């Protein structure tokens, strides 16, 4: 298939591009690089030994999308592009609704116009909000408790309504739990700008000496060691699920909304200890107040992913920590260090700067 990957230069997107390329798909990336570096594209070229077409496109730019869809004949879209920081979404809710929801509407409109009727969408376990019970299966209530989560729930609804209006339109909404880790080559990985919002990149930056110590938000939760419990999964397992979902849509013509997690809860301290094993050093930490909005325990029931997609996680916590550390050690300052030594070539712009070859 020729697949448009929106947000393909981002953390999960670029790992998925590797898996899709390995399965023989042709990939075109559309990204505005608001939270990623164009240098990812060179790394992807090295990893896949293929030229991956990529365009600097903001999804809210209707004209740019039309040009993209008239330049290529896509068989499917994998839609990652979004802003994703929960805290920031509470501070700048309208930016999140505009970027995530309006961007998705523009994308879906372009797909409808171009008669591209297959989409895999990056949703999130955040749509469940504060869970009533764990493990969480897909029948659990969708009641997100922050603007970011609400954008994901809204986009799921938009896609559902579109599928209902056109039986030829098929979609898989993938509700990710907590992706961590990196490609074992150390060439691509998670590179947050500013202070990391997520635990694993924070631990990595402490381990590599970029930050002094980890702050653990609360050790008085009703969990075995008092710290929060989440469902961490290796980003390559997650990437594989996208390829499986595309094949599922093509083979069955059915829609799907599915959890992607290991089904196992891991506490903050357990993750920290596993990471210390992987990096062979102690990670200093302090316990601070709970963060408002954090829940004690959340992990997936991944049964539906197994029965529909035949998908199960294969990589364990040690592999997640080993690969995250390998990426961080090989790239202590992420892609930024590369940007400093190597000037990014000027982007060649077509159509008033709407689409640029990156």
Ligand X SMILES: NC(=O)c1ccc[n+]([C@@H]2O[C@H](COP(=O)([O-])OP(=O)(O)OC[C@H]3O[C@@H](n4cnc5c(N)ncnc54)[C@H](O)[C@@H]3O)[C@@H](O)[C@H]2O)c1
Active site residues: 148
Q: Tell me if 66 sits within 8 A of 72, measured CB to CB.
A: no
Q: Among 2, 50, 58, 218, which residue sits at the site for ligand X (rule: CB under 6 A)?
A: 58
Site for ligand X in 236-265 (CB under 6 A): none
Spell 242-265 as b/e; 16+ CB within 10 A means b: bbbbbebbeeeeebbbbbbbbbbb
The answer to whether residue 327 forms part of the interface with ligand X (CB under 6 A) is no
Site for ligand X in 13-42 (CB under 6 A): 13, 31-36
Site for ligand X in 141-160 (CB under 6 A): none
Other CB atoms within a 10 A radius of the CB of residue 357 amount to 12
**β-strand partners of 175:** 123, 259
- Say which DSSP state 289 is in: P
Q: Tell me if 14 sits within 8 A of 40, measured CB to CB.
A: yes
End-to-end Cα separation, the chain, in angstroms: 22
Task: Indicate the residue among 36 and 222 with the shorter CB distance to ligand X.
Answer: 36
The answer to whether residue 313 forms part of the interface with ligand X (CB under 6 A) is no
DSSP string, 192-234: -SSS-SSHHHHHHHHHTTSSS-EEEE-S-SSSSSSS-EE-EEE
Which stretches within 53-118 are classed as H helix?
62-71, 86-91, 93-96, 103-114
Task: Indicate the residue among 221 and 232 with the shorter CB distance to ligand X.
Answer: 232
Give the binding range for ligand X (CB under 6 A) out of 75-83, 110-118, 164-172, 313-321: 75-83
Give the binding range for ligand X (CB under 6 A) out of 81-89, 131-139, 242-250, 322-330: 81-89
Site for ligand X in 102-131 (CB under 6 A): 103, 122, 124
Interface characters, 176-215, with ligand X (x: CB under 6 A): x-xx------------------x-----------------
* CB of residue 333 to ligand X, shortest distance in Å: 16
Q: Tell me if 225 sits within 8 A of 219, measured CB to CB.
A: yes
Q: Among 3, 5, 10, 28, which residue sits at the site for ligand X (rule: CB under 6 A)?
A: 10
Site for ligand X in 163-182 (CB under 6 A): 176, 178-179
344 contact partners, CB below 8 Å, separation of at least 6: 38, 39
- Say which DSSP state 187 is in: S
Instruction: Please tell me the distance from the alpha carbon of residue 313 to that of residue 117, in angstroms, as a whole number.
Output: 28
Give the binding range for ligand X (CB under 6 A) out of 82-90, 248-256, 297-305, 341-349: 82-90
Q: Among 66, 99, 227, 297, which residue sits at the site for ligand X (rule: CB under 6 A)?
A: 99
The answer to whether residue 331 forms part of the interface with ligand X (CB under 6 A) is no
* CB of residue 15 to ligand X, shortest distance in Å: 8
Q: Tell me if 173 sits within 8 A of 258, measured CB to CB.
A: yes
137, 172, 120: which is closest to 302 by C-alpha? Answer: 137
The answer to whether residue 233 forms part of the interface with ligand X (CB under 6 A) is no
Residue whose beta carbon is closest to ligand X = 10
Helix (H, G, I), strand (E, B) or coil at 181: coil
Q: Tell me if 56 sits within 8 A of 33, measured CB to CB.
A: yes
Task: Indicate the residue among 99 and 257 with the shorter CB distance to ligand X.
Answer: 99
Site size for ligand X, by CB under 6 A? 29
Task: Indicate the residue among 12 and 209 with the shorter CB distance to ligand X.
Answer: 12
Q: Tell me if 50 sits within 8 A of 194, measured CB to CB.
A: no
Q: Among 4, 9, 171, 305, which residue sits at the site for ligand X (rule: CB under 6 A)?
A: 9
| Binding-site ranges for ligand X (CB under 6 A) | 7, 9-13, 31-36, 57-60, 80-84, 99, 103, 122, 124, 176, 178-179, 198
């Amino acid at each position: 298939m020729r697949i448009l990957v929106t947000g393909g230069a981002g953390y999960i997107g670029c790992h998925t591009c590797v898996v899709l390329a390995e399965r023989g798909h042709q990939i075109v990336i559309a990204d505005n690089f608001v939270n990623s570096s164009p240098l990812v594209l060179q790394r992807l070229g090295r990893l896949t030994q293929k030229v991956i077409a990529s365009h600097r496109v903001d999804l809210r730019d209707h004209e740019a999308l039309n040009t993209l869809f008239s330049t290529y004949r896509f068989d499917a879209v994998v839609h990652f592009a979004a802003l994703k920081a929960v805290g920031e979404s509470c501070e700048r809710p309208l930016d999140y609704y505009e970027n995530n929801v309006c961007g998705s509407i523009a994308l879906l409109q372009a797909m409808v116009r171009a008669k591209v009727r297959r989409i895999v969408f990056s949703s999130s376990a955040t749509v469940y909000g504060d869970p009533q019970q764990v493990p969480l299966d897909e029948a659990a209530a969708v009641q997100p408790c922050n603007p970011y989560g609400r954008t994901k729930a809204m986009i799921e609804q938009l896609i559902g309504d579109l599928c209902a209006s056109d039986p030829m339109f098929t979609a898989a909404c993938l509700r990710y739990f907590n992706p961590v880790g990196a490609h074992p080559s150390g060439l691509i990985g998670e590179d947050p700008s500013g202070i990391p919002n997520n635990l694993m990149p924070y631990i990595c930056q402490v381990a590599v000496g970029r930050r002094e110590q980890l702050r653990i938000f609360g050790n008085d939760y009703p969990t075995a060691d008092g710290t929060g419990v989440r469902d961490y999964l290796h980003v390559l397992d997650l990437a594989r699920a996208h390829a499986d979902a595309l094949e599922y849509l093509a083979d069955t013509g059915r829609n799907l909304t599915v959890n992607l997690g290991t089904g196992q809860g891991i506490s903050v301290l357990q993750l920290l200890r596993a990471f210390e094993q992987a990096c062979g050093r102690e990670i200093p930490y302090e316990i601070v107040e709970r963060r408002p909005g954090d829940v004690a325990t959340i992990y997936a029931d991944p049964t539906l992913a197994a029965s529909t997609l035949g998908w199960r996680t294969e990589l364990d916590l040690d592999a997640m920590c080993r690969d995250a550390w390998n990426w961080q050690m090989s790239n202590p300052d992420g892609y930024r260090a590369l940007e400093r030594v190597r000037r990014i070539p000027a982007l060649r712009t077509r159509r008033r700067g709407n689409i640029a070859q990156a």
